[in-house]
Amino acid sequence: MERLTLRVAIGLLSAALATACLGGQTGQPTSASCGGEQLSSSSVWHDTTVGAAAAVFAGTYEAPVLWQPAVVDSQDRLQLTIFYDGGSVRRGCDGSLTVPVTVTLATSESGIAESGAATLEIAGPSGALVGKLSYLGERVALDATLTEVTAGVTLAGELESLDAELPGASADFAVEP
C-alpha cells in the first residue's frame, strides 16, 4: 500500500512539474507552442541567411581514419561530401537550424562507399558557426562536428561500425583546413 501511495505521489508531482514548465519567461515562447518553424533558404537568420549558413559546411572533406581497436599500418582515409540543396530548414525553439543535407562518404582502404540523407544542426552564432552532422547508413553511423574558422572549416568526428566486416568497432577522424 505504501508503494502505491508513493507512486501516486510521484505521478502527481510529475504532472504538476510538467505543467509548470509549459510557460516561459515574458516574451519567450512556451514549450507547448514551440514546435519549430520552417524557413526557406533565403530567410534571414541572425546576420545572414539560412542558405548562407548551411553553405558554410557544404563541400568535400578528406581526413585520415584511425580505427579502434588500432589497425596496424592502416593508411585509410575518409572522403566526406556534404550537399545542401537549398530546401527548407527547421528553426528550433533555441534558434538553432536543422538542415537536411545529403552526404557521400567513402574510405580508401576499408571499403565504405555510401550516400544518403543526413541532418546538420547549426547552432546560433555567438561568433563562429558550429554544425553537428549526423548520418545513419548501411555500414556506418557518422557523428561529426564542423566548426567555421578563418581558413575554412575544421571537421572532427567518429564512425561507428554497423558491419562486422569493417576493420574496427569505431574510427576517429579529424581535419583542419
pLDDT of the chain, 177 residues: tens digit per residue: 444 333 334 343 344 434 344 444 445 545 455 667 899 999 999 888 999 999 999 999 999 999 998 777 789 999 999 999 999 899 998 889 999 999 999 999 999 999 999 999 999 767 789 999 999 999 999 999 999 998 899 999 999 999 999 999 999 999 988
Write out the residue range of the structural domain in which residue 9 sits.
1-34
Residues 165 and 134 in one domain: yes
Amino acid at 163: D
Residues 11 and 42 in one domain: no
Residues 58 and 130 in one domain: yes
The whole-angstrom separation of Cα 87 and Cα 100 is 8
Residues 89 and 155 in one domain: yes
SS3 97: strand
pLDDT of residue 128: 85
Residues 109 and 121 in one domain: yes
Residues 29 and 48 in one domain: no
Residues 77 and 12 in one domain: no
Cis peptide leading into residue 125 (ω within 30°): no
Residues 45 and 98 in one domain: yes
Residues 74 and 109 in one domain: yes
Residues 58 and 3 in one domain: no
Residues 92 and 28 in one domain: no
Give the chain's domain count. Answer: 2
CB atoms inside a 10 Å sphere around CB 112 = 23
pLDDT of residue 135: 98
Residues 83 and 25 in one domain: no
Q: What's this model's pTM, rounded to 2 decimal places?
A: 0.79
